Amino acid sequence: MKERICLSDISEQNTKHTDALEHNYSALGETLARDGLDIEHLTEQAIAFEVTVPSWGVGTGGTRFARFPRDGEPRNIFEKVEDCAVIHQLCRCTPRVSPHFPWDVVGDFSELRQHADQFGLGWDSVNSNTFQDQSDQKHSYKYGSLSHTSQAVRDQAVAHNLDCIEYGKELGSKILTVWIADGSNHPGQQHFQRAFERYL
């Protein structure tokens, strides 16, 4: 497994704080024991806790309106995986990445999966983006996607989600997260019941 930061560097930094950490841990254990709680049991539960890092979380991210990139942020999903590997190396509780499509689409998903494997990372839910227009899409999501009044727009959104499912299968993911950004800006602009029926 590849490591982005030398383990001896991490150990050296941690060693500087070991005495204080052990003192605080012992004091916390005594406090918890007075309330009938076992710090070792709680520690085991904390060690088992895991968090998935979304791929967009290691970059500037995005909003409904735009992205404002900064120097040094990852340029593609391969670099995002490497940044996620650093997070996992430092905190040991983020073993999976959640990609976002179409931002993270690649030509060869087996290559991407192998790249993540090198860092000991797996894949969690894949996320579909139907809240932001892409340069190559035919229909706009300005007035909704899966609940849009236009059948063509809804079909486009459904097709994208089906593509995301296939991408997820290639990565070994079993979960699709659908970001539903449909809605309205003003009272009476949208018939909620009909929008819901279109969505279903």
3-state class percentages of the chain: helix first, strand second, coil last, to nearest 5:
45, 10, 45
What share of the chain in percent tops pLDDT 90?
70
Backbone angles phi, psi at 99, to 5 degrees: -75, 160
Nearest to 74, CA basis, from 63, 92, 87, 90 = 87
Distance of alpha carbon 4 from alpha carbon 15, whole angstroms: 20
All domains in the chain, ordered by first residue: 1-49 (no CATH), 52-199 (3.20.20.150)
Q: What pLDDT does residue 49 have?
A: 96
Q: What is the pTM of this model?
A: 0.85
Q: Using an 8 Å Cβ cutoff, are 88 and 121 in contact?
A: yes
Does the pLDDT of residue 82 top 80, yes or no? Answer: yes
5-18 core/surface letters (b: 16 or more CB in 10 A; e: else): eeeeeeeeeeeeee
- What's the mean pLDDT in 94-99? 98
pLDDT in tens, 142-174: 888 999 999 999 999 999 999 999 999 999 999
Does the pLDDT of residue 186 top 80, yes or no? Answer: no
